[in-house]
Chain A
Amino acid sequence: MRPRNEWIRVAYCEDIPEREGREVVVGNRSIALFNLGNRFLAVDNRCPHRGGPLSDGIVSGDSVVCPLHGWKIDLQKGNVQRPAETPACIQTFATKVEAGMLLLDISEFASCPASTSHAAVHEGGPLENSKERPYEDFRFS
């Protein structure tokens, strides 16, 4: 049976600028909160590729692009959109807004622990076989 929702107040909505993400640490778990203009989404703040901070990524529609190597993650479902056909996935969390306050449902914290390994799924270069712009283009050196 699905556990009952467990809402906690995590942030003032105004502290998350539109189309940006912010990190909030709940307990000892880093969560990325995103303001998509008409709603807020929350996911584990850890890219399944090399653990990059998703809260620092650029938002593209309902997805975020990891700032480290350009993996693209769907913020609603948690699946990886790029590189294509990557089975990895991150945990998403329900949110709601009450009185200007953003609430996060932490009921699934226990059943779905955050991954701890830095290289969780795919080793090797990201997007290497992808036709999209190679990641070096937006990596800063």
Chain B
Amino acid sequence: MEKLVVIGNGMAGVACVEQILRHAPKFQITIFGDETHVNYNRILLSSVLAGEKSVEDIVLNGLDWYEKNNIDLRLGVRIVEVDPIAKTVTGDDGSLTSFDKLLLATGSMPLIPSIQDVMKDGVFVFRNLDDTRQLLERARPGLKAVVIGGGLLGLEAARGLQVQGCDVTVVHLMETLMERQLDPTGGGYLANKMNQMGITVLLGLSTTKVLGNGHVQGVEFKGGGNIPAELVVIAAGIRPNVTLGEKAGLEIKRGIVVNDYMETSNPDIFAVGECVQHRGICYGLVAPLLDQGKVLAATITGNKGPTYEGTVLGTKLKIMGVDVFSAGEINDKVDGSEVIRYEDPSLGIYKKLTLKNNKLSGVILVGETGDSHNYMEWLRSQKDLSTMRRQLLFPESSGDGGIDVAHMSDKETVCGCMGVSKGAIIQAIHEKGVCTLAQLKEHTRASTGCGSCSGLCQSLLKAVVPDFQEEAKKTICKCVPFSEDNLRDILRSQQLKSVQEVLGIYGNGLGCEVCKPALSYMLDMLWCGDHDEDRSARFINDRVHANIQKDGTFSVVPRIRGGVTSPDELRRIANVAEKYNVRMVKITGSQRIDLLGVKKADLPKVWADLGMPSGQAYTKGIRMVKTCVGTDFCRFGVQDSTSTGIELERRFENLFTPHKLKMGVVGCPRNCAEATVKDIGLVGQDGSWQVVVGGAAGKSVRKADLLSTVETTEQALDAASLFLQYYRENANYLERTYDFVERLGIEKVRKETIYAPDAVKDGLRERLRKSKAHSRDAWLERDQPRTATQFVQITPVQEVLA
């Protein structure tokens, strides 16, 4: 077997090896990588920095892959010499390795502009996993960070640092952000969006000097101005890493020169990826690497024939919520080109298509990139668009979910990063029995690059898989197209704290009656009540803390913990009922008293006269604890259900939950207060408590599942707390505990609450404690209304005769 040595364990080198392995076995392969990690997806480093992905998430080939394919992997070894005559390479560990064929996949390195004193502590580049880890170590809330370079990488680094809490400024030499991909207008829209996210953008500034004594303290610009900085990231571009190519005596221009067969000037040495120059172009994106790898694999294995003819590039900015796409020619001043554009400044949408002879030559999309795959295909295929001129900017949408997919030809690329066509995906579905996105990723690699084609892959699966089952959880509504699990992660990682902010960045900017309350809850839960509550996003009940009735009046239910009241409270309730002409006084099914038919304007006075806290009978929150009389009076009682119920209610009251939450505590298994059909129930037994969850006796009837049996009352309350917080954090909005427990299974619930490691349990307890500390009796707003007109009807300033 011939010996193939690959220098470079990055995406290009390994992708090329994967292609080589598809041919008949011919080589004994050794791969050298100067990083100490297995092959990972470099383009997702910004997602790691932004906390959206973990290091494990971005691994492309684990160690088992190298083993399975008998590849000798040498990590942490940098090749320093190549001898093309003796056919050997020398590593910085002193090792000498001979080869029959050599593959250079040395990639590129960061371009460091000539800036005085650039070597100071606190100045970083952003190129590999170690850089990313260092940035993550340094980044902390309030740290002043400056990113030099407003291209793709610079902007992604900036957002990542900002998510880590840094105060970020992007300094760009040119007058337009991403000027290689965007025109000035598009760049302007992008700059606005970055500003909206809280990132300062300085344009047309040349950084000349890093200030500070040892550690960076600021950067200085041409002309003398400066800004403070405690951390500087240089992301000014990359240049091909050609040193070893030079040592091997290859023809070099900007990169290692290769022909259409991916051959260099030496027949035994090949090169692929960012280090090569093909037809005068050095590529810095993923798609070309894969195209090149396929051709090279054919050539090197003796199947010479396929040629590489260049790649039409599409670029997507990978910042969640900032949609930017660009492909083809950006200069629209070329002779004979026509420009079609659309702008909506308030929505931040800009679309520009450049056409030449009715064929697409360039596209720029900012703010809305849903149709980018159509445009990319038109660019690649050079389709004649004359009959579609009216729909170019807004390709027709139809009720037919499979239409997008049906429009695509089998050749059409679905995943630009990994070069997977529609045909290849259909083949995988039929031949490998692929039916989920995860399986599709495993078998075809589709959607493992930037991930922007995952929606399209889903549609394909849906259209083709014989018995397709929706794996993605449903989204809340059309306004915010993410599943709730996904949204919780986004809000947490992106530090979003208000509903409008979420809608502005991740939604349609407007919201509706479905998503607004859901987002309100999510923010309250995630930040434990320490967020910017937006009353306009809440249902009327939560704006005025009472339950709206069919005639527009409200019902008032004061808190009567455990259902235990007193003559004094009853007298006050009676007085209020008479004073405000309450139309009906009703004992509820929950051992509470409901005063029905109260006018909104009377609510604050009613609460004041009652002198009792809100019973929260109007909200998705802790409703009540129903109790039996327990050991105090009952002949059969074995546990003190009333005082335990009162304590349970006191601990949880005023908290919000995904849906209403009702509890019950009974002093013996006779279950008089029906604890086994409550969301949380405590069932007293002789010497112990059973804690049950997920019961219901409403629209659904369900007997609660046993969470655990404990000896002491304090343990019972603790188990209930763990479940409550777990439900608050993991249920979808409007999902009752009985659906939640059934969806997850009680075993999983137990595992992640009462049987969870101590650290996890402490986390749940601590977040519940924080939420409780931020919560308050809503009826106190009687003295401090949120707005002057919270409860009052406006009287016309000018009198009008009736």
Contact = CB atoms under 8 A, between A and B. Distances in A.
Interface in B50-104: none
9 contacts: A9-B797, A10-B796, A14-B788, A16-B794, A20-B535, A20-B543, A58-B537, A58-B539, A140-B541
Interface in A7-45: 8-12, 14-20, 22-28, 33
Contact of B796 (A8, A18, A65): A8
A75 interface: no
A50 interface: yes
Interface stretch (B231-239, B505-513, B666-674): B505-513
Given A16-B789, A138-B517, A50 B511 contact: no
Given A10-B794, A11-B796, A61-B510, A56 B548 contact: yes
B608 interface: no
A12 B797 CA distance: 8
Nearest to B793: A23
A25 B795 contact: yes
A59 interface: yes
A24 B552 CA distance: 14
Contact of B788 (A15, A60, A67, A101): A15
Nearest to A25: B793
Interface string B788-802: 110001111110111
Interface string A99-141: 0010000100000000000000000000000000100111010
Contact of A140 (B539, B551, B795): B539
Given A19-B534, A56-B548, A140-B548, 18 more contacts: A8-B800, A9-B796, A9-B797, A10-B794, A17-B787, A17-B789, A20-B536, A22-B793, A23-B793, A23-B794, A27-B800, A33-B794, A50-B550, A51-B551, A56-B540, A58-B517, A59-B536, A106-B800
Contacts of A51: 551-552
A56 B547 CA distance: 12
Nearest to A14: B788
* Nearest 10 pairs of A and B residues by beta carbon: A19-B536, A60-B512, A61-B510, A65-B513, A56-B540, A58-B513, A9-B798, A24-B794, A53-B552, A9-B797
A26 to B, nearest CB: 5
A48 interface: no
B734 interface: yes
B781 to A, nearest CB: 14
A122 B505 CA distance: 38
A138 B513 contact: yes
A90 interface: no
B614 to A, nearest CB: 14
Contacts of A28: 802
B514 interface: yes
Interface of A: 8-12, 14-20, 22-28, 33, 50-53, 56-61, 65, 67-68, 70, 72, 101, 106, 133, 136-138, 140
B802 A68 contact: no
A27 B274 CA distance: 75
B734 A137 contact: yes
Interface of B: 477, 510-514, 516-517, 534-541, 543, 547-548, 550-552, 618-619, 699, 734, 787-789, 793-798, 800-802
Contact of B514 (A19, A52, A138, A140): A138
Given A15-B794, A101-B797, A22 B552 contact: no
Contacts of A59: 536
A68 B794 contact: no
B349 to A, nearest CB: 15
Nearest to B617: A140
A15 B787 CA distance: 8
Contact of A24 (B514, B538, B618, B796): B796
Q: Tell me the dominant secondary structure on chain B's binding face.
A: loop
B501 to A, nearest CB: 14
A57 B511 contact: no
A26 B800 contact: yes
Given A60-B511, A65-B512, A22 B517 contact: no
B793 A60 contact: no
Contacts of B802: 27-28
Name the residue among A19, A50, A70 with the largest chain B CB count within 10 angstroms.
A19
Name the residue among B477, B514, B516 with the largest chain A CB count within 10 angstroms.
B514
Contacts of A18: 536
Given A16-B789, A59-B536, A68-B550, A140 B618 contact: yes
Nearest to A17: B787
A17 B535 contact: yes
A112 B545 CA distance: 35
Contacts of A68: 548, 550
Contacts of B547: 140
Nearest to A50: B550
B50 to A, nearest CB: 29
A57 B537 CA distance: 10
A90 B141 CA distance: 51
Contacts of A57: 513, 540
A50 B540 CA distance: 17
Contact of A133 (B514, B541, B796): B514
Contacts of A133: 477, 514
Contacts of B541: 140
Contacts of B550: 50, 52, 68
A12 to B, nearest CB: 7
A107 to B, nearest CB: 12
A103 to B, nearest CB: 9
B261 to A, nearest CB: 56
B800 A22 contact: no
A72 B787 CA distance: 25
Given A23-B793, A58-B537, A140-B541, A70 B552 contact: no
A52 B801 CA distance: 25
